[in-house]
Structure 1
Amino acid sequence: MSSSEAYVQAAQLGGDVGFVVMDARSGQVLEQRHPDLHMPPASTAKTVTTLYALETLGTDYRFGTRLIATGPVVGGVIQGDLVLSGGADPTLSTDDLGAMAAELSRIGVRGITGRFLVWGGAIPYAEEIARDQPVYVSYNPAVSGLILNFNRVYFAWKRAGNGYQVMMDAPGDAYKPRAYTASMTVAARQAPLFSYSDRGGKEQWSVAASALGRSGSRWLPVRHPVAYAGDVFQTLARSQGCPLPAAEEARSQPAGTVLVTHASHRLPDILEDMLKYSTNLTAEAVGMTSSTVRGLPASVGRSGASMSQWIAARAGTQAIDLVDHSGLGGNSRVTPLDMVRVMAAGQPVGLRNLVKPFKMRDASGKTYASQPFRVDAKTGTLNFVSTLAGYMTAPNGRELVFSILTGDVERRRRTQDEDRPAGSVQWVKRSKILQSQLLMRWGAVYG
């Protein structure tokens, strides 16, 4: 079997490659290459966020979204304001808001005398997670204490005559309301693909006609999530027989009587889905909520630094410097040795059960129909960055912990404004083959 270095050279990635593999029981480092290399973690940063949230919030934690009345209900009418109060639930959906509106109707509320207020201050607002991403990518939306549909709006189009019919919706399974806080126009141009402007709180998009076929759809990021959620709930409440005035954003959380509450699933279930689907907004919501609960700086950027300091004390890491909780920001840095320390620290709290099984690839890039040993890991991918951190059970039953960081940071910097720069897909494919080759080698040599 080839040496690790031979596999690295054969991959021809350019940039840098660092890794560490360690015996899980003894902590002995078995093999390493540039263990102190500073690299972007990409989505492997979500493993740090998982530990941070579990140890801060606890396994029974649920996010809550509430409808609050600031006055009594008399004859089915709230004598005061109705407040939609967010609790930073990253999984809140249109169907959840629809169920809340239905419950409001069930308890007999038919109207209000005051305002319809929406509060999203449970965690600090940010217009986007990372600034080095194209404006239209749905995985980089705004962050807020009120999150709906992962702060995404659904854009659909179909050809109609000489033009296009376009729709901006907030669909769930049971409810499909329009989104009045966002609009779309089709422009006769080749580029850019999308343009965005914010005019008086109305999110205005345009798309290049040359990019549209006969019909299609995609999610776009929302930059005003409080207004978006308020708009959608107003539509849903009206359909349940409770007309409301236009939503207004509350600057502080109003007090009153809680009429309806929606609770999320338990935190471990949310984290498992976050790691499986690598949802950036979920990572930011749970991470910033954890910083808020700890009384630490919780805004985007500062909350990542708060978590970096926490993991240094918790796991003995030396050089983790995170700018966010998701790994989306390209300026975050970790080392292979520190990532192994994170994974080792996660063993006693069940991190391996939350990350998903990793399917290894052969030299052509195809996944094996069956692989000789078990690997559970978190992947991370940015343009010209591919990372992997996790656990493996060697053929003889020996438990290993590993991290592999690959990246051509300079090439990424040159193409950071592009969604899919030329060569990136092939580069990531070669990196994933290299990762599998290293795992196969370690299973054979150390198992």
Structure 2
Amino acid sequence: GENEGENEGEMSMRLVFGDWGFESGGFENLLKKPAFAAVTAVEGFLAAAEKILDEAEFLSQAAPVQQLLLRPFGEIGEHDQLLVDQHLDQVLDDPGQGKVRPHPLVVGDDGGDVGMDEGHQGRIVGRHLVGALHRFGIDGQNLSLGVLAHEGHRCGLPNGCGVNDIINRRLKGWLTKIPNFAKHVVVAALVVIPLGGCQGPALPAPGQNITEVRAYEAPPPVGVDALIRKHGLFGARVGYALLDLESGDPLAGRNENALFIPASTAKVPTTVAALGILGADYRFRTRVLVTGKVAQGDNEGVLGGDLYLQGGGDPLLTIQDLMGLARRLKDQGVSGVSGKFFYDQSLLRTFAEIEARQPENARYNPGLSALSLDFNQTLLNWRPTLEPGGEKGVVRAYQTPTLGDARPGLSAADPGRGRNVVPGVAPGDEIRWLLSPSAPVEGAEFLPVKRPGLRTARVFRRLARMLGVTLPEPRAGTAPRNASPMAGIRGLALADVVRLALEHSNNMVTELIGQVAARHLEGEAGDLSRGSELLGGWLRKRLPDTDWDGFRLTNHSGLSSKARVNPKQMAAIVRFAVHRRHGGGDYLSLLPASGLRDSMRRRFRDPATALRIWAKTGTLKYAKGLVGVFFAASGRPVAFALFVTDFDLRRAYDAAANVQSPEIAAPAEDWIRRAEAFEQDLLREWILGI
């Protein structure tokens, strides 16, 4: 799915400094001293974190009343596995690494807005910590800070103190971009102050001992309306349909005929139809075709004609597959070609992106081609110049791998916060990636490949040359009917591809599956909307008793806010799919299961829900879905479809000029977090109550 971020909460923060000894007169004095860089939500102090200084100083103890001292970073989050843990543990345990200040200065809350003492000046501290982090290039996807202040209170955003699951991921990516990181420590003392006057429980003191361990106990059921209020989903439409998996009898419903944005749950109808159309054992083929013979004698090893790398729409084609094809050429005595090298992607329509309304730099929105490789993503890297006396602000940038792509450049204008890299145009209509002037001076971002066929052919050419087979620069072309196959490779069985597509929710993989299935039905390559219509028609014929009014998918992956489904339709599709057999198994065995690894976006791990839910998630900003089967505690299997969509907020989001800016992205990601918590609570109640 879109997966643009999650887990952010509304809060007010206070940064507390120790007795740093800087003179009064403003934070600018701090920048002149070898003190430390703080991650902070102070509006006037945002630039300080980019100036990491040589000597680290930090608080040796926590200040009173709900203060969070970030130490060591190994305690930040169990899933982050930060590379900085070891270094920070060493620094924090060794006073010789920095100058310890044993008497932190704590500023009171003044009975209202939190103030920070900076000499005679007062500055209001507030806003989202998330917004500040975005300015440093942290996107909030996998970072959690300290202890969650209101985990037990659960008062939710409407009351102003929803602080649980605040920020999640990517701290590592930011910290490790700091030059000479081993010299620096990022330390801040944070006080969480709930907005709206809500008072939560006091935080436990650092190092507090566990005194008792009790068995898990599920929270008592409160009903869907109470859960909607609890998670602050006011204004959102909530709908679901629950069917007995065996009989098809309805068990529960709410807005079951109303339309919702399906997001990545659209991958379910796409893959169900594709399995029925192509068969579970269908395999995608990638071939090398030639129009001549390999010469002997004076030109020994030279192919006297053209060579074609022909794509069969394999969504999981790997660089190892291409190396195998190149090796087969070498083994057949080919050392070069006298003609041209073509890449043939004519089986399917090519697209520069899946959804034009999505950001052009989003890795989940790549180009599509019958000849695709490595999920059609590329990695852009940039680093400061390393030469002594190098110019400030000058970076060196390159793509991985570098294959004759247009050299990265600098954007003439700042594209806005949250957008470090934007596309430009190079000669030959190739994409040239441009760095924002305000991007961090060191970083790396995965970006979508806009011309996947050309990139795949260039990778093949590089691999062939490594084996001693010289090919000219590739160009697009269609193999003639008289071309002879010289080498080929078959991909995984479709059932295995579908399982991986559903587990990882990869848009490109699902789009290619849908395109190939649609071509099989119509006999020619069409656009994504037409392909989705064909697959939907296939489902309609097999579920004639289902009311299909309003059902519309604009592509195969669900990467669109214009798609519409209702819960009853999706629950019927699931029930239909589970009763069919694919390669000895059923569709249920292809769905992600709760309670293992990181499935279901790290939810449904408690004893009441683990292993009981087999479903596909769907995530767009202001649109959530979960579709599949759950096994109730009573033993009853239930086909279900659950959707939450806030259409007003989504329309405003779509109309925004820069959806990647913190001001737009942060509240949308917080909405996703609350909708996911709602899904988890509601599924638990269903499982225990049916």
TM-score normalised by structure 1 residue count: 0.92
Give 2:428's aligned amino acid.
G
Give 2:282's aligned amino acid.
Y
The aligned counterpart of 1:275 is 502
1:155-208 deviations in whole A, cap 9, x for unaligned?
Answer: 1222213322211123xxxxxxx2223431144754342332334132111011
Aligned 8 A contact 2:411 2:422 in 1 = no
The aligned counterpart of 1:355 is 591
Does the alignment pair 1:114 with 2:339? yes
CA 1:255/1:406 → structure 2, altered by over 3 Å: closer, same or farther? farther
Does the alignment pair 1:445 with 2:689? yes
Give 1:418's aligned amino acid.
V
The aligned counterpart of 2:477 is 250
Give 2:313's aligned amino acid.
A
Does the alignment pair 1:132 with 2:357? yes
Aligned 8 A contact 2:608 2:687 in 1 = no
Instruction: Report deviation, 1:356.
Output: 0.7
CA 1:313/1:428 → structure 2, altered by over 3 Å: closer, same or farther? same
Q: Of the two structures, which has the highest relative contact order with CA contacts closer than 8 Å and spacing of 6 or more?
A: 1
Instruction: Report deviation, 1:437.
Output: 1.9
What is the aligned length?
435
Aligned 8 A contact 1:101 1:233 in 2 = yes
Distance 2:603 2:536 in 1: 36
Matches within 5 A, 1:303-342: 303-316=531-544, 317=546, 318-319=548-549, 320-342=551-573
| 1:391 corresponds to which of 607, 624, 629 | 629
CA 1:237/1:423 → structure 2, altered by over 3 Å: closer, same or farther? same
Distance 1:239 1:3 in 2: 63
Give 2:356's aligned amino acid.
R
User: What SS does structure 2 have at the residue aligned with 1:40?
Assistant: coil
Distance 2:679 2:515 in 1: 31
Does the alignment pair 1:154 with 2:382? no
Distance 1:380 1:89 in 2: 24
Aligned 8 A contact 2:244 2:251 in 1 = yes
Gaps of 5+ in 2: 1-220, 581-585
Distance 1:213 1:384 in 2: 33
Distance 1:116 1:89 in 2: 20
RMSD after superposition: 2.1
The aligned counterpart of 2:677 is 433
The aligned counterpart of 2:245 is 24
User: What SS does structure 2 have at the residue aligned with 1:418?
Assistant: coil
Aligned 8 A contact 2:335 2:470 in 1 = yes
Matches within 5 A, 1:56-71: 56-71=277-292
The aligned counterpart of 1:418 is 659
Distance 1:190 1:196 in 2: 13
User: What SS does structure 1 have at the residue aligned with 2:528?
Assistant: coil
Give 2:659's aligned amino acid.
E
Does the alignment pair 1:10 with 2:230? yes
Aligned 8 A contact 1:119 1:253 in 2 = no
Aligned 8 A contact 2:262 2:563 in 1 = yes
Give 1:210's aligned amino acid.
S
CA 1:252/1:102 → structure 2, altered by over 3 Å: closer, same or farther? closer
Greater C-alpha radius of gyration: 2
TM-score normalised by structure 2 residue count: 0.60
The aligned counterpart of 1:84 is 309
Does the alignment pair 1:40 with 2:277? no
Distance 2:470 2:354 in 1: 34
Instruction: Report deviation, 1:11.
Output: 2.6
Aligned 8 A contact 1:121 1:146 in 2 = no
Instruction: Report deviation, 1:372.
Output: 4.9
Instruction: Report deviation, 1:252.
Output: 5.5
Give 2:458's aligned amino acid.
D
| 2:434 corresponds to which of 206, 220, 232 | 206
Distance 2:683 2:603 in 1: 15
The aligned counterpart of 2:415 is 191
Instruction: Report deviation, 1:383.
Output: 0.7
Instruction: Report deviation, 1:4.
Output: 2.2
The aligned counterpart of 1:179 is 403
CA 1:129/1:187 → structure 2, altered by over 3 Å: closer, same or farther? closer
The aligned counterpart of 1:236 is 463
The aligned counterpart of 1:72 is 293
Aligned 8 A contact 1:395 1:443 in 2 = yes
1:384-403 deviations in whole A, cap 9, x for unaligned?
Answer: 11100111111121111111
Q: Give the stretch that moved more between structures: 2-11 or 20-29.
A: 2-11
Give 1:400's aligned amino acid.
V
Does the alignment pair 1:370 with 2:607? yes
